[in-house]
Amino acid sequence: MEAQNVEVAALVQKIAGLHAAIAKLPSLSPSPDVDSLFTDLVTACVPPSPVDVTKLGPEAQRMREELIRLCSDAEGHLEAHYSDMLANFDNPLDHLGRFPYFSNYINLSKLEHELLVRYVPGLAPTSVAFVGSGPLPFSSLVLATRHLPNTLFDNYDKCGPANDRARKLVRADENLRARMSFHTADVAKLTDELGKYDVVFLAALVGMAAEDKAKVVAHLGRHMADGAALVVRSAHGARGFLYPIVDPEDIRRGGFDVLAVYHPDDEVINSVIIARKVDSYANGLQNGHAHALGLVPVVSPPCKCCKMEASVLQKGEEMVRKELSV
């Protein structure tokens, strides 16, 4: 225990030093200094750690909250920079690999899709919402092209310029342009629209404070369709210095049955929570008492059978389309 305390103290001290250096930067737009400091920060936070950031003292908590805001701002600048760069190509989608963290989005979207296949069997979504899509909506692009090729995607972001940038990325792809829409809106003000989606993805930085995230989830719970799936991005361990941590209990209280919680231990930063909207919280207690009693279903990596199920599902959809076209 003493060794763990020493390890945690050393990590917090290192993170605090990086926070201080980042806070002094004149700008968070991409530059050698910005890139170097955030690379050091991610490198410090990714390895497994015994730290529970939710139990740190008040000073460390304030530092962590400010660091998450700085990370969010830097991520926004980085995505806007690369979105503008990609928009200069005739077909921006042919050059997505130029983004330095593109492989992370490939792996995260693959993980989310496999978890959905595994824990929401039979799900074949026709309409998906991604809340907090930003100027570089990699998650939607990867899901739409690699995993859900026949699904409609509605992307929501509060920032109008971010949506303007995102639209330019799909302008040269007729199929994606027809299936992917971008809406400037606050999810907290959406009501009837939320009832039409089979799956709603909630980006990690939507509602950065814990109480704000809980309010967003509760709002989704009031307006999403019964049985619809919710995918929430969270964080675990030291990665909680980079992104907000979502308490599965807040998702249950919001009217969902928590089906799975997955904490990556590789280059994928975000944890993933898979949940499903129930008729009411009481119904959730009856049908999922193990979950409702607070026994968090932390799961192992998706198995090969998930990939097989996804493949079978896609082949089945292709067969149906062929039959309908005859």
Q: What is the mean pLDDT of each run of 10 residues along the chain (326 residues)?
A: 84 97 97 97 93 94 96 96 97 95 94 95 93 96 95 96 97 95 94 96 84 91 96 96 94 96 92 90 44 56 44 40 38
Q: Which amino acid type is present at position 236?
A: H
Cβ proximity of 187 and 206 under 8 Å: yes
Angle between helices 2-23 and 58-87 (to 10 degrees): 50
Query: Which letter, b or e, does each residue of 219-228 get, where b requires 16 or more Cβ atoms within 10 Å of its Cβ?
Result: bbbebbeeeb
| Count of residues in the chain | 326
Helical segments of the chain, H only: 2-23, 32-45, 58-87, 102-119, 138-142, 160-169, 174-179, 210-223, 248-253, 281-287, 289-292, 304-325
Q: Please tell me the class of the 103-317 domain.
A: alpha beta
Backbone torsions φ then ψ of 319, nearest 5 degrees: -65, -40
pTM for the predicted model, two decimal places: 0.85
* R_g over Cα of the chain: 20
Nearest by Cα to 203 from 267, 131, 155: 131
Running DSSP on this structure, what letter comes out for residue 43? H
Query: What is the helix (H) or strand (E) element at residue 182, kind and residue range?
Result: strand 180-184
Looking at residue 72, what is its pLDDT?
A: 95
- For β-strands 271-277 and 229-234, DSSP reports them as antiparallel
Nearest by Cα to 129 from 34, 206, 241: 206
Distance CA 132, CA 127 (A): 16
Q: Which amino acid type is present at position 126?
A: T
Distance CA 285, CA 281 (A): 6
Looking at residue 211, what is its pLDDT?
A: 77
Residues 6+ apart with CB under 8 A from 266: 107
Running DSSP on this structure, what letter comes out for residue 26? S
Residues 6+ apart with CB under 8 A from 324: none
Query: What is the helix (H) or strand (E) element at residue 201, kind and residue range?
Result: strand 199-202
195, HSE (Cβ side, Cα atoms, 13 Å)? 5
